[in-house]
């Protein structure tokens, strides 16, 4: 949960419409993916944003990873991890794989893990992931035991601590140590740097970037799973196509294999065209995979240091006000109209697709305007001439920011 914020869940879990697949040419070995915008950086630690995640996921690797199908943690750069057995679980130790190398051939060690967390904690880097790597306000700080062992001393054991490491990709100390000292990590991992300066531990490495047009990744010969035949693709080419209609046309023309993200309108249009097709085996296959781990949420700003008016903070702090707003949101109609019924109202803060954390005992919140008005009345709000006023006579108005 974000510090200083309280959220009211819109409860629209979506994401199963995230891809339309036309199988790539087996002889080609190249997967062509349409993205609607470029990533913000080559450094996963510096941007908590979807397109950045999609691209940098191929360039970098974590210590351990979350399997999206089983929702269990699996080894990655670390072959194993253990908690101390004295009962409190406050020491977490990772044993790293031997012989792992970065995409430029340099060896990987525990020093790179320690360096990554130093960058994460450096305010000059401005990582949006810093808060997620805190426990009780303390940033996780590793101890290098030996080149293949790194140990974390935790303020306390938490249920989510292992999942923190899935979101943190390891940076190359040998490449960025000087940048870290100078406070220029962000600039030295920005989109404009030379491809050979983008070094990681992922299955691919950057081959070419044509700004605003495409990003070409090639197979990383030093990938730690290369001996097992991974990655199986020779290359991934991300084509930047901002217009959804243009993406759909290029998919239908065979110029694109996968849409990294699409709208419900595009999904429905493709499905209708396929249903009307006379081809026994169409070239394009689309699948609705159901709710993803993502959900849309509405957050109320309760940060005492925020510059918003004090009266708004007073409204937002009242649970009756927040519940009234929640009751006034018609999640079922939003799922039907906005997402073409390709979304599911969520019972709580967690997506219905997140089987690990979802509380199945929660009951769905019904749309109830009468109950919302009653709660507002209890909190001292009055409705006059279709406008809401608080107990001090202030008209209730506030802004909501969302993605474009």
Q: Does residue 353 lie within any of the structural domains?
A: yes
Q: What is the rounded distance in angstroms from the CA atom of residue 6 to the CA atom of residue 315?
A: 12
C-alpha distances out from residue 376 to 2, 327, 368, 369, 391, Å: 26, 11, 13, 11, 10
**Coil, helix or strand at residue 369:** helix
- Is 176 found in the same domain as 70? yes
Q: Does residue 210 lie within any of the structural domains?
A: no
Q: What is the rounded distance in angstroms from the CA atom of residue 115 to the CA atom of residue 128?
A: 17
Query: Element (H or E) spanning 50, and its range?
Result: helix 50-56
8 A C-beta contact, residue 264 and residue 339: yes
Q: Which of 162, 180, 198 corresponds to the end of one domain? A: 180
Instruction: Centre a 10 Å sphere on the Cβ of residue 321 and count the other Cβ atoms it contains.
Output: 24
Q: What is the rounded distance in angstroms from the CA atom of residue 330 to the CA atom of residue 58?
A: 38
Q: Does residue 280 lie within any of the structural domains?
A: no
Instruction: Write the DSSP assignment of 188-228 as a string of letters.
Output: HTSTTS-GGG---SSSEEEEEEETTTEEEEEE-TT-TTGGG
Structure-block tokens of residue 105: 């051939």
Instruction: State the pLDDT at residue 68.
Output: 79
- Is 147 found in the same domain as 78? yes
Q: Which of 120, 153, 180 corresponds to the end of one domain? A: 180
Q: Does residue 190 lie within any of the structural domains?
A: no
Instruction: State the pLDDT at residue 181.
Output: 95
Q: Number of structural domains, the chain?
A: 2
Instruction: State the pLDDT at residue 1.
Output: 29
- Is 365 found in the same domain as 303? yes
Instruction: State the pLDDT at residue 2.
Output: 33
Instruction: State the pLDDT at residue 184.
Output: 95
Query: What CATH number does the domain containing 175 carry?
Result: 3.90.76.10
Domain holding 103, by residue range, is 64-180
Q: Does residue 240 lie within any of the structural domains?
A: no
Instruction: State the pLDDT at residue 115.
Output: 97
8 A C-beta contact, residue 347 and residue 364: yes
Single pTM value for the model: 0.79
Instruction: State the pLDDT at residue 87.
Output: 63
Q: What is the rounded distance in angstroms from the CA atom of residue 278 to the CA atom of residue 129?
A: 49
Looking at the DSSP bridge assignments, the partners of residue 134 are 139
Instruction: State the pLDDT at residue 17.
Output: 36
Show the beta-strand stretches assigned E in 49-159: 64-66, 73-75, 78-83, 91-96, 134-135, 138-139, 142-146, 149-153
Instruction: State the pLDDT at residue 10.
Output: 43
Instruction: State the pLDDT at residue 86.
Output: 64
Residue for token pair 């000087």:
178
Q: What is the rounded distance in angstroms from the CA atom of residue 49 to the CA atom of residue 206?
A: 19
Q: Does residue 283 lie within any of the structural domains?
A: no
Q: Which of 156, 180, 204 corresponds to the end of one domain? A: 180
Per-residue model confidence as pLDDT tens for the chain (404 residues) = 233 344 344 444 444 334 444 444 445 799 999 999 999 999 999 988 889 999 999 999 999 998 877 888 999 999 999 988 666 678 899 999 999 999 999 999 999 999 999 999 999 998 998 888 888 888 888 999 999 999 998 888 777 788 889 989 999 999 999 999 999 999 999 999 999 999 999 999 999 999 999 999 999 999 999 999 999 999 999 999 999 889 988 988 889 998 887 778 888 888 888 887 776 666 777 777 777 777 778 889 988 888 999 999 999 999 999 999 999 999 999 889 988 888 888 788 888 788 777 788 888 788 999 999 999 999 999 999 889 999 999 999 999 987 66
Query: Element (H or E) spanning 113, and its range?
Result: helix 110-121
**Coil, helix or strand at residue 4:** coil
- Is 172 found in the same domain as 70? yes
Ramachandran angles phi, psi of 363, nearest 5° = -95, 145
Q: Does residue 199 lie within any of the structural domains?
A: no
Q: Does residue 278 lie within any of the structural domains?
A: no
């Amino acid at each position: 949960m974000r510090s200083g914020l309280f959220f009211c869940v819109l409860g629209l879990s979506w994401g199963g419409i995230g891809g339309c697949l036309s199988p790539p040419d087996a002889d080609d070995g190249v997967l062509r993916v349409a993205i609607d915008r470029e990533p913000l950086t080559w450094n996963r630690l510096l941007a908590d944003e979807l397109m950045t995640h999609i691209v940098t996921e191929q360039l970098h690797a974590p210590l351990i990873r979350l399997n999206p199908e089983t929702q269990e943690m699996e080894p990655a750069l670390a072959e194993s991890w253990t908690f101390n057995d004295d009962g409190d679980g406050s020491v977490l130790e990772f044993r790293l794989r031997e012989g792992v190398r970065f995409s430029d051939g340099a060896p990987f060690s525990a020093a790179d893990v320690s360096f990554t967390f130093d960058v994460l904690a450096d305010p000059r880097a401005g990582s949006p992931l810093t808060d997620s790597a805190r426990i009780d306000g303390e940033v996780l700080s590793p101890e290098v035991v030996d080149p293949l062992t790194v140990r974390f001393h935790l303020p306390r054991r938490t249920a989510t601590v292992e999942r923190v490491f899935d979101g943190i990709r390891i940076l190359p100390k040998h490449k960025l140590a000087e940048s870290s000292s100078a406070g220029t990590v962000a600039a030295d991992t920005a989109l404009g740097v030379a491809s050979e300066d983008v070094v990681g531990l992922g299955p691919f490495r950057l081959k070419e970037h044509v700004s605003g047009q495409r990003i070409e990744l090639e197979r990383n010969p030093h990938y730690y799973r290369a001996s097992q035949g991974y990655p199986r693709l020779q290359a991934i080419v991300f084509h930047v196509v901002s217009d959804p209609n243009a993406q759909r046309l290029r998919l239908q023309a065979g110029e694109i294999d996968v849409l990294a993200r699409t709208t419900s309108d595009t999904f429905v249009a493709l499905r209708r065209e396929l249903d009307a097709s006379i081809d026994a085996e169409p070239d394009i296959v689309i699948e609705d995979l159901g709710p993803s781990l993502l959900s849309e949420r509405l957050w109320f700003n309760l940060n005492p240091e925020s510059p918003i008016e004090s009266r708004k903070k007073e409204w937002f702090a009242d649970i009756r006000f927040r519940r009234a707003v929640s009751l006034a949101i018609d999640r079922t109609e939003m799922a039907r109209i906005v997402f073409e019924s390709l979304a599911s109202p969520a019972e709580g803060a967690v997506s219905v697709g997140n089987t690990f954390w979802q509380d199945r005992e929660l009951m769905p919140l019904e749309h109830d305007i009468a109950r919302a008005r009653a709660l507002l009345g209890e909190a001292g709000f009055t409705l006059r001439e279709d406008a809401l006023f608080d107990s001090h006579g202030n008209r209730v108005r506030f802004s909501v920011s969302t993605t474009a």
